[in-house]
Structure formats: structure tokens, C-alpha cells
A and B are shown apart, each in its own frame.
Chain A
Amino acid sequence: MCVSIPAKVIALHGDMAEVSVSGNTFRAGIQLLDDVREGDYVLLHAGFAIQKIDPGEAEETLKMFREMNQDGE
């Protein structure tokens, strides 16, 4: 099984999206999601997009990391 990996949507063709991972392109089914758009990042698994990556939440998590101290609170 393909391990799940984030991929960028670069084109849409009906039920399939053309997605890119580090310059490699791949076709994935988008039947499991609503409202997928070009430029979205999606999580791929077994040939399908299973969720959209939430850039806001990703940034929140990274912000939390940046503000963390090395030791204790």
C-alpha cells in the first residue's frame, strides 16, 4: 500500500485529480471529498485523496513549535 502522503492538486478531471509530490505527478480519485480545488494540498492513500490538508491548522502547529522552550514550560 502506498503510505499516505500530502500532494498538491495541479489539475482536475471529473472524478480524478492530477496531483504532484516533489515534482512527480500522479492521478488520484477525489470521490471521497467535496470541493477539491487546484492548489489544495490533499492526503493521498491507495490512489485516493482522503482529506484536504488544513493550512491554517498546519501553521498553528508550527507556530506552537516555534514558541516552545527547550526545557520544561
Chain B
Amino acid sequence: MMAHGSGGKKMHELIRNLFVKYFRNPFLESGGDAAVVPPEPGHIAFTTDSYVVDPLFFPGGDIGKLAVSGTINDLAVSGAAPRYISAGFIIEEGFPVKDLESVVRSMAGTAKQAGVQIVAGDTKVVNKGKCDRLFVNTSGVGIISEKHTHIATADHVKAGDQVIISGYVGDHGMAVLSQREGFPVKTGLKSDCTPLNDLIGKVLERFDHVHFMRDPTRGGVATALCELAEGRQFGVLIKEPAIPVREEVMGLSEMFGFDPLYVPCEGRVLIVADQSVSQGILHTLHGHPDGENAAVIGEITTGNWGKVVLETIAGGRRIIHMLTGEQLPRIC
């Protein structure tokens, strides 16, 4: 059965039943216009993102898993413990309900895995051609304790801090690209998309002196680091040989002229931390399934204010810029 028109009673019933069936929690089931959740000590972290990934289903995930992971990760990298998520769907007329069900099921599974609840949802069906199959928006709320509020601001980042990436770079972007129609290469690549709140939670639990975190999504590691450095009184130096890149991603990048540093990751975190704790953090990451290939890739420098510099494999140094324009459109 297809979603059609502005939906009649039957359509809305169907969708509501899907949500209630899969998202299973007392907030949704109470059916009110707003989810009323209990207060907790600490600050509230709040984030939102919209997802237009093409194709909707790809190796390692789908738009649903991507959306829930993405929002959880935005909260987690700010130092927050994610708690509640809302999900908004804009559905093109004719979009198969069974595909919608797959997406919803996937979102429920990801949220459950992460210990987060999806407490509010909305759907709108639009005429054919007014949106490309399915767009998803997720907003999320989490709790940050006072001692972690500096993480999102990067105000404690200082020269000598180490830059760590939690695993292989570029898996998501390349996996999605490889599924595009007409892509001539067959690859076994899977998206890395996954919620990282457990991984990050363990790091924050065991170590103080984490000064900054970011998930390198749109624009990849390079863009995330450029955003960190911009306007600051420190620089970032990263070393090309230290950056973990999967063989297959390296091969595809060489073939098509991509730079893995700019390719989006959806299950990785960049951590900037004091030198004294960086090895400990690395050890913790290595001991977790989502941090197996973590590595120190660089450091914060006293010179080169506001800039990101890459030391190439040949030993030369060049400046890394923010990405201009889309290297890879509709990856997330």
C-alpha cells in the first residue's frame, strides 16, 4: 500500500500504528501533542538535523539509522548523554509503506541500541515530485553535566593537545557513493554509521581533560578541523601517514580523485585532549568495538593560528582548506 494524498484517516492511522508499534514508549503511547519528560540535573543540550541521503538504503544502514545515529552523536560529541529524540517525516506520495516501515524499524533498533527514546513524531505526505521519496528530520535532547560544557565551545583547547580519530576515515561517504546509479565499481564497503554515545560515555567517564569533540560528517575530518581552528589562537597540525584509511577507501579515492579527509564519516569522533590522557583515551577506544582503529593523527600547535596544516607523506606541508562546494552531494 502506498502513502497517498494529504492522507486520509486510514493513512494517519497506519503511520501512527507504525510509530507506536516500533518506538514503544510511554511518552508516545500517551498520545498527547507534546511529550512530557521528567527533569534531570545538569544543562540541556538540544540539536536538530535533516537527512536527505540518496540512496535511502545503503550497505551498513539507511536514512533512519543515519538520522538517529547522527542526532545521538551530535549530542554525544557535545559531552551530553542523549535522552530523547523526535522524528519528522516528509513522504512523497507513492512511497511504499513497507519501505517506511523498514526505516522506522531501523530507527527503533538504533535508538534501543543506544538507550535513547523516540518520544515525538510527525509525518506529512506531499504530492509526487515535491520531495524525493523520503526526507527525515530528527531533533534530540540530552543532558550535559557542568564539567563537560566547555567541550562544545572548544574554549579549553590549547597547544600541545593531541588530535585523535576513533577509526577509519571516509567509510560512509564512499559506501553511499558506491550505491549511486551508474557507479562503475563494485565494492564491499559499508557505511560506518552508528551511535557513539556508549564509546564517548566511557571516554568521558574515565578521563578529564577532553577539550573538544566533533563528529566529522559533512565535509569530513578536514572540515571539522577547519571549523575548530577558525578564528582561534592556535593551529592544527595533522600527519598524513597517521590517518587511518581503509584499503578499499584508499583505492576508490585514488581512482576517482577524492581526498578521504573530506569524505563524511557517520560513526567516528574526533577527540582533542590533553597530552597526558591521549594514550589512555586511545587504549579505551581500542578496547571498544566502535574504536578499533583509533589513532592519534596530530596535535594543536602554537603557530599557524586559525589554520589546519597537513604534513604529507612526502614530508612537505600544505594548508588544508574548508571544502568549497559539494565533493559528494546528498551523502547525509
Contacts and interface: CB of A to CB of B under 8 A. Distances in A.
B184 A3 contact: no
B89 to A, nearest CB: 34
B251 A23 contact: yes
Contact of A2 (B186, B247, B256): B256
Contacts of B302: none
A24 B252 CA distance: 7
A27 B186 CA distance: 9
Given A2-B256, A3-B257, A21 B251 contact: yes
A61 B290 CA distance: 41
Interface string B249-267: 0111011110000000000
A47 interface: yes
Interface in A21-54: 21-27, 44, 47
Nearest to A19: B185
Contact of B254 (A21, A23, A25, A47): A21
Contacts of A22: 247-248, 250-252
A5 interface: yes
On chain A, which size bracket covers the interface? 10 to 19
Contacts, number: 43
A22 B250 CA distance: 8
A23 B187 contact: yes
A23 B253 CA distance: 13
A8 to B, nearest CB: 11
Contact of B186 (A5, A24, A44, A47): A24
A26 B254 CA distance: 14
Nearest 6 A-B pairs (CB), nearest first?
A22-B251, A21-B251, A24-B187, A22-B247, A23-B248, A25-B186
22 contacts: A2-B255, A2-B257, A3-B254, A3-B256, A5-B251, A5-B255, A21-B185, A21-B252, A21-B254, A21-B255, A22-B247, A22-B248, A23-B187, A23-B251, A24-B185, A24-B186, A24-B251, A25-B185, A25-B187, A26-B185, A26-B186, A47-B184
Interface of B: 184-189, 247-248, 250-252, 254-257
